[in-house]
Each structure stands twice: as structure tokens, then as C-alpha cells.
Amino acid sequence: MPLPFKRCIVVGASSGMGEAIARQLCREGATVALVARRADELARLKGEIAAAGGKALVFPHDVRDYQAVEALFQQITAHMEGLDLMVYAAGVMPLIEPDEYSLDKDLLTVEVNCMGAVAWLNQAAQRFGREGAGTIVGISSVAGDRGRRGFPVYGASKSFLDAYLESLRNRIARTGASVVTVKPGPVDTPMTKDVAKKPLLISAETAADTILKAAAASKRVVYVPWKWRPIMAIIRAIPSFIFRKLNF
Amino acid sequence: MEDVSAVTAPTEAQIDKSAGFHPLPAANLERVDSFGMNLHAMSYVWRPSTVAGIHQVFAKARATGRKVGLRGAGRSYGDASLNCEQICLDLTRMNRVLSWDPQSGIIEIEPGVTLRQLWQYCVGDGWWPPVVSGTMFVTMGGALGMNYHGKNNFQAGPIGNHVLDFDLVTPTGELLTCSREVNPDIFHAAIGGFGMLGCFTRIRIQMKHVESGHLSVYAFSTRNFAEIIREFEARMDRADYLVGWIDCFATGAMLGRGAVHEAKYLHIADDPNPQQSLRVENQELPDTILGLLPKSIVWRFLKPFTNNAGMRLVNWAKYWSSATIGNRKTVRQSHAGFAFLLDYVPNWKWVYKPHGFLQFQSFVPAETAEKCFTSQIEACHRAGIVPYLGVFKRHKKDSFLMTHGVNGYSFALDFAITARNRQRLHALTRELTDIALRAGGRFYFAKDSTLDPVSARAYLGEDTIREFARMKRRCDPDGMLHTELAKRLFAEDLLNT
Ligand SMILES: Cc1cc2nc3c(=O)[nH]c(=O)nc-3n(C[C@H](O)[C@H](O)[C@H](O)COP(=O)(O)OP(=O)(O)OC[C@H]3O[C@@H](n4cnc5c(N)ncnc54)[C@H](O)[C@@H]3O)c2cc1C
Ligand SMILES: NC(=O)c1ccc[n+]([C@@H]2O[C@H](COP(=O)([O-])OP(=O)(O)OC[C@H]3O[C@@H](n4cnc5c(N)ncnc54)[C@H](OP(=O)(O)O)[C@@H]3O)[C@@H](O)[C@H]2O)c1
């Protein structure tokens, strides 16, 4: 089945899963607007996509520049003459020591993972809700399923995203639009290169493939790979008084 | 902390973002659909109610570097009034009757006045629109934009033949009054100019005097194209309206079988009480079918039949009844009842949900019509996609630049779009287009969604397109008026792209 997406935005397209998603969409014939801060990386990707016969557009942008999002979103949709798929894959996970409490890192995490997502996906949800069509993909994480010791604010930012995406879905799914919450386990990307424990690690390409299939099928919540769904169901079921003694 | 926020300077080439972009208010973003429900656009919609308001929309478009697509009631089947991600100037709120003279039958209206408003306004004084389309839910601005025709085209010509003059506001802010005497070239190009030259803001039409609110309608069946054409040719001098329906499922010797409705105006002597028959109340279509079923739910009953087997049955039953109980019968029908048969079943098009439908209509000279339409139906059968409805009309030539008029016949085919037939249907419409072109045929932008630039050139001719492009530069030098149809067919000629 070819993907039903012709005009797409990928925020966080300069590396990792966003990049893999953009490449695959272009291979399937879609036009993709690449959004992230590093213009040189985006330009490189655009060149590679073009060399393979695909079409990408470059829109450098820092998602923390919230006030610029409305105009940029409109510029992109005007450029592509519409929008079928909106992927929010931007995210940060600053490494922190077990005893570190850095407000700077935490604010950055909330700004990129939460507020940036809200700025972009509000735009998409409003449009898709009125259009009665379109697909939103938000990349959350298994880390949002439980408050673990490792990355408190990162995990919290993904919980935020889960609830926010569910709300969007409840707002607009009845019109015909869809909202897909993606919850990957460890994926081999620059984000995780310094992370020690990476159980069930998969490549960004494999993740992208699963994510786009789920998007095409208008899935609501998808674990990547699927094994994480039963695993996280068990982990969520562990009572707090036990959980806090465990070493996750 | 590592510097995760460092912003790399953008390389100059390869950046698509541009600094001078002006967003439009999100509040105006709307979904805009084609009548066939198979295409839609997201557009920033404005609905001004005055000429000043229209000027403001053009000014806004200029200030923000946007294109403007004009839209009436959106009753064009395809992309003629769609304009993706740009401004949609919707004229439906500009709907006042400016003046009416029941002595001369001359009416002056704003462009958003609907055909329904128009006939309801005048019929009580004994006047009927000189040309009406198959639905009354069109605006008269849209009617002029397409230069619509009716079942009396062979007699009355298109609506443009009855327009005395109009005002056209161009994107540059000019207000041009056009008639056959003043700006005659713009008059003949803007009517049928699919919203490319300017926005009609005032239209003066000569209405048609009628002595009775009723028509005398004679119905009979025909066995094939040769016969229906013979009947039309024999009747067109004395009939006021002629329309044919074709059962597209029939093959072999019965290919082209159908039914004809011929209508004539009644004279005052034939109507015992014209005062009454001319009242709007007595023109109105009833709210129920057979006095029982609310019309609004009828489409739900038709839905189960909207597939090949069901439609074969419906067409067969319709032919059978018109060839037996309904054959060679004369009845009296109100003007509205005869003209707006399709409006009788509200939302009938919903039977084509969710993928929608398209209409393919070609206009071919009388000499080649039989052969052309026969080949078209055969092509449909070969492709395994049979139109659920076929409508047949007689036309004549007219003097409008981008006209679809021919001295001959048109055949309109309604195709259901399904999840599986999209590609094949596309190939089929190409084939139907080629068959019509070989027969010297023309096409109609109001119905079109499948034509390509080469076919459009082939039937319009280089000279016509050059002349229209000249007019476009004169009225809209910046190519601001824009629709998806114009882009599909004339991007290079008209839109400065
Ligand atoms: C059920 C049905 C039956 C029909 N039967 C017939 C028929 O029998 N004969 C026939 O000829 N057609 C027929 N039509 C087609 C219809 O008459 C035309 O599509 C008509 O143009 C629709 O008017 P509208 O107000 O909906 O215009 P729209 O579809 O909104 O616009 C039509 C065109 O006019 C332009 N336009 C709109 N307003 C203005 C304005 N103020 N100034 C300048 N340009 C403007 C638009 O840009 C567009 O190109 C039928 C359509 C339907 C749905
Ligand atoms: N990798 C994993 O194991 C894993 C697991 C679960 C969930 N996730 C989530 O998946 C998403 C993608 O992660 P990834 O692994 O692909 O990481 P990645 O390779 O580091 O990519 C992150 C992307 O986000 C962009 N980004 C970061 N900050 C930004 C900002 N301020 N403005 C604009 N763009 C910004 C980056 O682009 P620039 O730097 O060019 O701006 C980059 O394109 C993230 O939300 C992550 O939390 C990852």
C-alpha cells in the first residue's frame, strides 16, 4: 500500500527519526517540508533527497520561537498547497547525573518537547479539524508511561505530550482527522548515543517505517516496536511502593 | 551543559523559507468543496456584502501577495471555484436585487443573487429567467462566470445572450461597465471567463415573459442515439425546451435508449388561472414525495442502489416506465418543477459519498454526435465503468470567447468515484476526451475536472487562448485572479507562472 500522504511537515527533520521519516516519505513521492534549527543539515538532506528523485523543502526554525510558528506554518502550507501529514519529531533529552537538578536543561526540555509541540500541533489540529482530514503524528516515548528515576523532566514532558495528543484526538478525530501518539523504546539516533542501557534497540529507519504505517492506518497509540506495549502495561501495573525500589 | 541551542547560520542556497511572508487570519481558514465532493481546498474565505468590501479583499490580497479565487454557490462540479491555500472571495452575501421593472422585465442584481431568488422575485409578475440551469442553487455571478445554458439552449442560447450589461471590478481596482456596445471584447470574454478577468458586481438581465406558470410537457421514449437525434432535429423549431435522458447501461441495438421531455410555454388562453399558476407557492416543489416521504431523507433510500447492479436496475426501470406507462403522455408542470428536477431530492449527491463523483460532459457538432456518443458509451463498457446518469441536450453556437457552445449536442455522464476505480476512471475520461476531440467537440469548465492543457488548447485554439490572455493582462495584469482549474489548464497563458 502506498502511503496516503502527499504534502507533509516534519519538525525535527535534521536527524534521527524525523530524518528517517522525511526520507521515507520522499521516497514514496511526498513533498516534505523539513523543519529544525540546523539549516546546513536540512540543506544536506534536501540535496540527498533531490538526488534520489524526491522533493523536500527547507525551513530552518527553532521551535522555541513560538510566535513565529503561525506564519511559518501558513507559509509552508501555501508553498505545498495544502497539508496531509504533520509530524512533530523534535525533542531533546539532555543527559543528567543521578544527583543533577538543572533548571536550564529542564526548561529546555519542556520548551522543545512540550511547548514547541503545542505551538505546531495547535496549528495542525485547527486546520485538520476544519478540513475533516489530515494526520498528526506526535513522537512521545515509553518514558512518559511512568515517572522513573532517570530523566524526570524528559519523562514528564512525554506524559504531557501523551495527554495533549489524546486531547487533540478527542477534539478532532470525530471530523475525520487523526492523531497518532507514537511511543518508541530506545532507537539508535544521536539522542541516545551516550545512553548506556538500550534494551530492544532498533534503527531509526525501522522506527520510521512502523510510524508511517501506523499513521497511514490512523492508529491512535502505537508502541515502537510493538513489544513495548505489553512490557509497559506490566510496568505501569507495578505498584508505586515497589516501583520506587526498582532500578529503572 | 552542552550547547544544545546553538543555531547554525543558514546556508543561502536551498532555503525555502522567505522572510517577507504575511500570514492571513486563521479565523478565515475554511474547507471549500467542489460540488462533486471529490476535490476540496483549504482557503482563507471572505464574504463581503458591498463593492467596497470586494475592493478591500483585493487590497488585502495585494498587500499579502496572495491570489484570489472567485466563488459563487460552488455548484461547479470540479475545481472551477477552488483556490488552495489562497483567498476565496465568496460572493453569496452580495445578494440584493437592485432594481426591477415588471413592465419591461429588466432586472438589475448583485452577483450573489441566486437563480432561486431571481425566479421567485419575478414569477408573480409573469417573468421567468430566460435561461436556467438544472439547479436553482447557483448564483447569477457564477452563472455568468460559466455562461450557463439550459434545456432551451438551441432556442435561447446561453445566459450571456440575455445579459444587457454588467459592472466588473478588476483586481487593480477598476470598475468596468461592459455591454455589447461598451467594452464589447470584455463583455464577450468575462461572460464564460471562469472568474479570470474580474468580479461581476452588478448584472442587468432581460427576463422572459411568460403568460402562465405552467408548461406543457410531452414525454416519450427513444430506442437509440439515431432516434433521439432524429426526434430532437424534428422538434427543435417548435419546442421551447428539450432534454433527453439516456440509460447508459443498455448495449447492442438498444445502446443509447432513453427518454425525451419536450416542453412548451402555455398561452394565456390555455391556463384558466394564470394569476394562481404564477404564484411562487404554486411553483414550489413539494416537501414530500408522494405526500409521504420527507424529501430530505430520500437520498438515504437511494444510497443502497448506488452501485452498478442497483443503478442498472434504476435505469432499466426508468426506461421501462417511460416506454410504457409514461410513453407519449402530455402533462402540465410548473416552470420550477420542470426546470429543477434535481433539486427535488435535496442532497441527492450524498448517495455518492464518501468518494464523490464526477461529471463528464462533451459538446459535439450535430453531424458527429451519434458516432461520438456511441463510442463514448462503448468505451465506458469496455472500461467496466458505466455512468449512472446520462443527460442529453441540443445546443447552438454563441459569440462568447471561451464558449462551450456548439451547433450540436451535449452528453453529460455522471460517474461514481470509488476507492478502487479512481485510476481507471481517469484513464477512461482521457479516452472520452479524445473521442470528443476527434468529433470536433468542446468542453465546459463548470463540469470539468479531468481536462488537460493540451486538450483544452486543442478545442479552444491558439488564437482564442491568446486573445483571452490579452484580456487577462488588460484586466488583471498581475495574474491575481486564480483558481485550481485555471492553473490546471492555463497556468502558462494566464497566471504568470
Ligand atoms: C445539479 C446541477 C445541475 C447543473 N445543471 C446545469 C445546466 O443545466 N446547465 C449549465 O450550464 N450548468 C449546469 N450546472 C453548472 C452550474 O450552472 C455552474 O457551475 C454555475 O457556474 C454554478 O454557479 P455558482 O454560483 O455555484 O458558481 P461557482 O461554481 O461558485 O463558480 C463558477 C465560476 O464563476 C466564477 N465566479 C463566481 N462568482 C463570480 C463573480 N461574481 N464574478 C466573476 N466570476 C465569478 C468562479 O470563479 C468560477 O469560475 C449544474 C450544476 C449542478 C450542481
Ligand atoms: N532515540 C530514542 O531512543 C527515542 C526514544 C523514544 C522517543 N524519542 C523521541 O523521538 C523524537 C526524535 O528523537 P531522535 O531520537 O530522532 O533524536 P535526534 O536525532 O536528536 O533528533 C532530534 C531532532 O529534534 C530537533 N530539535 C531539537 N531541538 C530543537 C529546537 N529547539 N528547534 C527545532 N528542532 C529541534 C533536532 O534538530 P536541530 O538540532 O537541527 O534543531 C533534531 O532534528 C524525540 O521527541 C525523542 O524524544 C527518541
Mean pLDDT across B159-171: 98
How close, in Å, is residue B487 to chain A by CA atoms? 12
**Are B11 and A37 within 8 A, CB to CB?**
no
**Chain B interface mutation, best of A81, A93, A97, A106, highest count of B Cβ atoms under 10 Å:** A81
* Reported CATH class of domain A7-243: alpha beta
CB of A138 closer than 6 angstroms to any ligand 2 atom: no
Q: Probe ligand 2: pick from A113, A120, A139, max atoms within 8 Å of CB?
A: A139
The CATH number of the structural domain formed by B97-209 is 3.30.465.10
**Are A61 and B17 within 8 A, CB to CB?**
yes
CA distance B242 to B65: 47
pLDDT digits (tens, 9 = 90+) for B237-259: 999 999 999 999 999 999 999 99
Write the CB contacts of B70 (distance below 8 Å, at least 6 apart in sequence). Answer: B81, B89, B91, B141, B145, B195, B199, B481, B483
In chain A, where the domains are located? 7-243
How close, in Å, is residue A70 to chain B by CA atoms? 8
C-alpha A161 chain-centroid distance:
10
pLDDT score recorded for residue B3: 45
Mean pLDDT across A74-95: 97
Residue predicted with more confidence, B7 or A111? A111
Mean pLDDT estimate for chain B: 94
pLDDT digits (tens, 9 = 90+) for B412-452: 999 999 999 999 999 999 999 999 999 999 999 999 999 99
- Asked if B62 reaches chain A (Cβ–Cβ under 8 Å), the answer is no
**Are A43 and B1 within 8 A, CB to CB?**
no
pLDDT score recorded for residue B455: 98
CA distance B92 to B382: 43
- Collect all residues of chain A within an 8 Å Cβ-Cβ radius of residue B497: none
**Are B23 and A77 within 8 A, CB to CB?**
no
How close, in Å, is residue A166 to chain B by CA atoms? 23
| Per-residue pLDDT at A248 exceeds 80 | no
Spacing, Cα B34 to ligand 2 middle (Å):
40
pLDDT score recorded for residue B383: 97
Local structure of B210: helix, strand or coil: coil
Local structure of A193: helix, strand or coil: coil
Quickly state the pLDDT bin for B5 (edges 50, 70, 90).
Answer: very low
pLDDT score recorded for residue B2: 41
CATH 3.30.43.10 fits B4-89+469-494, yes or no: yes
Q: What is the CATH T-level fold of the domain B214-451, as seen in this structure?
A: Alpha-Beta Plaits (3.30.70)
pLDDT score recorded for residue A2: 82
CA distance B198 to B479: 11
Local structure of B411: helix, strand or coil: strand
Mean pLDDT across B98-119: 98
pLDDT score recorded for residue B1: 38
Quickly state the pLDDT bin for B301 (edges 50, 70, 90).
Answer: confident
C-alpha A119 chain-centroid distance:
14
pLDDT score recorded for residue A229: 98
How close, in Å, is residue A187 to chain B by CA atoms? 20
DSSP B252: G
- Collect all residues of chain A within an 8 Å Cβ-Cβ radius of residue B7: 37-38, 62
pLDDT score recorded for residue B6: 47
| Integer angstrom CA distances of residue B407 from A46, B120, B157 | 54, 32, 11
Q: Is the bond preceding B354 in cis, omega lying within 30 degrees of 0?
A: yes
pLDDT digits (tens, 9 = 90+) for B25-76: 999 999 999 999 999 999 999 999 999 999 999 999 999 999 999 999 999 9
CA distance A153 to A101: 10
CB of A162 closer than 6 angstroms to any ligand 2 atom: no
- Asked if B21 reaches chain A (Cβ–Cβ under 8 Å), the answer is yes
**Are A59 and B17 within 8 A, CB to CB?**
yes
CA distance B406 to B259: 22
| Per-residue pLDDT at A189 exceeds 80 | yes
Out of A54-58, B13-17, B99-103, B411-415, least confident range: B13-17
pLDDT score recorded for residue B284: 78
**Are A82 and B41 within 8 A, CB to CB?**
yes
Locate the ligand 1 atom nearest the alpha carbon of residue B139 and give its number: 25
Spacing, Cα A190 to ligand 2 middle (Å):
8
CB-defined site of ligand 1, < 6 Å:
B 35, 70-76, 80-81, 91, 111, 133-135, 138-139, 141-143, 145-146, 148-150, 194-195, 199-200, 342, 446, 483
In chain B, where the domains are located? 4-89+469-494, 97-209, 214-451
| Per-residue pLDDT at B233 exceeds 50 | yes
pLDDT score recorded for residue B18: 87
Nearest CA in chain A to B86: A78
| Integer angstrom CA distances of residue A99 from A102, A149, A152, B401 | 10, 10, 11, 80
| Integer angstrom CA distances of residue B82 from A81, B70, B317, B361 | 12, 8, 37, 20
pLDDT digits (tens, 9 = 90+) for A106-163: 999 999 999 999 999 999 999 999 999 999 999 999 999 999 998 999 999 999 999 9
Nearest CA in chain A to B30: A130
CB of A45 closer than 6 angstroms to any ligand 2 atom: no
Q: Please say whether the beta carbons of B341 and B333 come within 8 A.
A: no
